[in-house]
A and B are shown apart, each in its own frame.
Chain A
Amino acid sequence: MSIPLLSLQGLTKVYPGVVANSDVSFDIGEGEVHALLGENGAGKSTLVKAIYGLIRPNEGQMLWRGEVYAPSAPAQARATGVAMVFQHFSLFDAMDVAENVALGMDNPPPIRELSAKITEVSNNYGLPLDPHRMVGDLSAGERQRVEIIRCLLQNPQLLIMDEPTSVLTPQEVDILFRTLRQLRSEGKSILYISHKLEEIRALCENSTVLRLGKVVGRADPRKESARSLAELMVGQVLHTPSREAGTPGKMLLKVTDLSVASPSAFGTSLKGVNLSVRAGEVLGIGGVAGNGQDELLGALSGEIRADSEAVQMDSNPVGQFGPTARRAMGLLCAPEERLGHAAAPDMSLTENALLTGAYREKLVTNGFVSWSKAKTFAESVIKRFDVRTPGPHVAARALSGGNLQKFVIGREIMQRPSVLVVNQPTWGVDASAAAQIRQAILDLAQAGAAVVVISQDLDELLEVADNFAALNGGRLSAPRPVQGLTMDQIGLMLGGAEGETHAAA
């Protein structure tokens, strides 16, 4: 047998009170695309951080081509030949591509040379990228290319990719996969972390499944179904969200010719957005990140004010109302960014429950906060939405992404909204939590609420939405019923072709 490129042997990492990894062993061969699967909090990130030299395991060892490998810092890992593309980009909007790449390198060459190399590498791997463009002007897919090319310039032997496709359009995913397959054919190994099981089945020849820090399975993903992989990961039988067909009720949310400027310099302003949602209806809004999703949520939540008539709740103009007044009328929102927007990272869950629940849940009387009521409310959200946490006193940032998302969505749903707007409800959330959140959204619509789901995950939108519209450059296409919609049509809508014909007509 040949010596594996990287061999993990009994890695254990203990944090105070939590065993993040327990006796994890697996091998990654040369030229192998290896999938690492697991729910949020299963210990994937900890494991990857150990490989990349960000943390040090308590027990066990790693072998790199048969020799002991114990990186104490990422620089050492990079020198060995390990590169990593993180889920969250660390790029500066106001600098160009080459400058950003130089910032992430240990010994950057002069910018001119670097630019030439970027052009060369990007063309070789089919990821075209102009080194002189400002990162702020790039799409999410292009930003990811910057990160990937930064890694490829170091000529790594092992490339770690953490949830790489969560921000890409189907077409961009195809391009990325072509690149990854090319890397594999060059003998490079890839450790691929994703929740999208179909992708893993298309790309990876080996997989390790983690649950609660332990290896619970190894499988050849090509021989498994997505469902069997998911069940291995979750350790239980999965339920696909289901709903009964209902008849749409009266118009609850109506947006007419909504145009607002983006508050941020690199944001996208909304241009003449029209939409309407009836009671019991779920409207799905697709689109690649950065096409006005944040602005749309802000304009609906009241963080961005619009013309009074542009946003109507149950036939009342609310465009000029702030978030508190809109909440009082039953228009509730859950923004995409969990930490810092939907929740205050350093505050407890009780305090975060108060954040949006203050008035609707009557946690405040005459301006005075009832902390016991706030705690009870937080506890009820935790209980009903199965948020895994020691209790409501825990700081929001101590929760895993999926658990905090359940809390954030649950906090709004428990307040019985008549209109709910959510942005990226299951972004970075594991399969079972995502299914739970989608089911909760469907149940809410079933109970007579109007729901707007903004998401980049097309599968998700097709699963929950009745009607689909696409955001492109701040314009919203005309909604179409999801039933009978083909992927091609969706692709055209996302690309803005729909909007153009509209404008021409």
Chain B
Amino acid sequence: MLRLEKRPSPSKLWNYATPVVAVLLTMIAGGILFMALGKNPFEAIKLIFWDPLFSEQFASYSRPQLLIKAGPLILIAVGLSVGFRAGIWNIGAEGQYIIGALCAAAVALAFYPAESWLVFPLMIIAGAAGGWAWAMVPAILKTRFNTNEILVSLLMVYIAEKLLAAAATGFMRNPQGSGFPGSRNIHNYASASNQELIANTGMHWGVVAALIAVIFTYVLLQRHILGFHVQLAGQAPRAARFAGVAPARLVLMCLGLSGAFAGMAGMFEVAGPARLITIDFNAGYGFTAIIVAFLGRLHPVGIVLAGLLLALTYIGGELAQFMLNLPAAAIQVFQGMLLFFLLALDVLSNYRVRLSFPSRSSEVV
């Protein structure tokens, strides 16, 4: 019989080992899934995890994509991780990401076609402010009326998507676009363009921002009293109040920070890889970032690694779709399984699995 026994203190080994084991289990379960779909599992796994980086045929296109996809994932995930550590669940980063992009695009379009170095920084501020403001809705509702931030932040995503559709087909539509939905191409507007900084690497300002955010969050969590209070509130809410942490202020701070980061990610995306506001501008980064945050153990460095890995599944997944005719949903299932295995394995950090044999007695430890 299997039994769980609480460890006296959380296991350091398992804390690091669970993400690795979860990835391996996902590969195995994913392989079975692909086999059930009638594909060669080894080929599919190789196509997802290996070919984007190392095959001669695809790597030249896929390698730069890694940073392009990982940038927003990491930027959003580090923001989310702060709140998650405090037990404040912002599930609506996707919406904050959209609003950030819309606000940044609005600034760019307002200045168009004037050229000024001021436009780009203003767009960053607008993106951050937009995401922040969108996150303040669940934050204020929570602190004022004790609503559940999980539900409110999630539902705000759908409102954001409607706004996005309205913008792409209505108030932000390109006046010279012959009636097609979508805004002007912001990437082609020099003052607002988020250019690749080093050719063929995928490195753009969003990746730089993600790295700065990682360092900022690392320092916040490890060295600053606010980071300590965040972790205290997550682990022992009553002890946090005793220590003098005001729960309402913490909610505002955590949701605000993650909203601002998500909004910035949206800004860099619309000015860079996405090029313009379209109806299907959002690619699910805000939701995938939740997986990234947990896979990275809510630790800034872990999140960098997890972000790169999830970016790989995006690119490899596209490749598998294209080469093996795998359905797009199969890749989403694949990402979902990763979170599932990870959360299930997390039990091992805090508990020891014991085999117990009712028939035999004292010699079994």
Contacts and interface: CB of A to CB of B under 8 A. Distances in A.
Interface stretch (A234-242, A342-350, A477-485): A342-350
A110 interface: no
Contact of A60 (B10, B225, B362): B362
Interface in A338-395: 340-347, 351, 354-356, 358, 364, 367-369, 394-395
A341 B361 contact: no
Nearest to A324: B244
A117 interface: no
B46 interface: no
A369 B223 contact: yes
A343 B240 CA distance: 9
A124 interface: no
A211 interface: no
A355 B232 contact: yes
Interface stretch (A51-59, A83-91, A125-133, A491-499): A51-59
A397 interface: yes
B162 interface: no
Contact of A398 (B9, B236, B239, B240): B9
A302 B335 CA distance: 46
B225 A356 contact: no
Interface residues of A, number: 41
Interface string B1-41: 00000001110000000000000000000000000000000
A302 B358 contact: no
30 contacts: A57-B362, A58-B362, A60-B362, A301-B242, A302-B244, A323-B241, A323-B243, A323-B244, A324-B243, A325-B244, A327-B244, A337-B238, A340-B236, A340-B238, A340-B239, A342-B239, A344-B236, A346-B9, A347-B235, A354-B228, A355-B232, A355-B242, A358-B225, A367-B225, A367-B226, A368-B223, A369-B223, A369-B225, A369-B228, A395-B9
Given A351-B228, A368-B225, A72 B356 contact: yes
A395 B241 CA distance: 20
A454 B151 CA distance: 42
B361 A56 contact: yes
B362 A355 contact: no
Contact of A342 (B10, B226, B228, B242): B242
B365 interface: yes
A351 B232 CA distance: 9
Contacts of A397: 8-9
B9 A341 contact: no
Interface in A295-325: 301-303, 322-325
Contact of B8 (A60, A323, A398): A398
B246 interface: yes
A436 interface: no
Given A367-B225, A369-B224, A345 B241 contact: no
A354 B231 CA distance: 13
Contacts of B329: none
Contacts of A60: 362
A60 B363 CA distance: 10
Interface in A53-96: 56-61, 70, 72-73
Contacts of B231: 347
A156 interface: no
Contacts of A70: 361-362
A358 B242 CA distance: 13
B323 interface: no
B266 to A, nearest CB: 29
Contacts of B358: 72-73
Nearest to B9: A395
B244 A344 contact: no
Contact of B232 (A56, A325, A344, A364): A344
Interface residues of B, number: 26
A14 B349 CA distance: 22
B356 to A, nearest CB: 7
B153 to A, nearest CB: 26
Interface string B327-365: 000000000000000000000000000001010011011
A72 B361 contact: yes
A344 B239 contact: yes
A337 B365 CA distance: 33
A354 B356 CA distance: 41
A286 interface: no
B362 A344 contact: no
B220 to A, nearest CB: 10
Q: Which 9 A-B pairs have the closest CB atoms?
A: A324-B244, A323-B244, A344-B236, A70-B361, A395-B9, A344-B239, A341-B238, A398-B8, A355-B243
A346 B235 contact: yes
Contact of B365 (A58, A355, A356, A394): A58
A335 interface: yes
Nearest to A352: B239
Interface in A264-311: 301-303
B148 to A, nearest CB: 19
A335 B246 CA distance: 18
B9 A394 contact: yes
A137 to B, nearest CB: 23
Contacts of A341: 236, 238-239, 242
Contacts of B241: 303, 323
Interface in B200-246: 223-226, 228, 231-232, 235-236, 238-244, 246
Give the most central of A302, A325, A335, A367: most B CB within 10 Å.
Answer: A367
Contacts of B242: 301, 303, 323, 333, 335, 341-342, 355-356
Nearest to A68: B361
A405 to B, nearest CB: 15
A367 B227 CA distance: 10
A76 to B, nearest CB: 8
A345 B243 contact: no
A140 to B, nearest CB: 20
Give the most central of B235, B236, B244, B365: most A CB within 10 Å.
Answer: B244
B219 to A, nearest CB: 8
Nearest to A358: B225
A185 B70 CA distance: 75
Contacts of A340: 236, 238-239
A323 to B, nearest CB: 4
A364 B223 CA distance: 9
Contact of A346 (B10, B224, B356, B364): B10
Interface in A166-214: none
Nearest to A12: B362
A123 B151 CA distance: 51
Contacts of A323: 241-244
Contact of A322 (B223, B225, B232, B244): B244
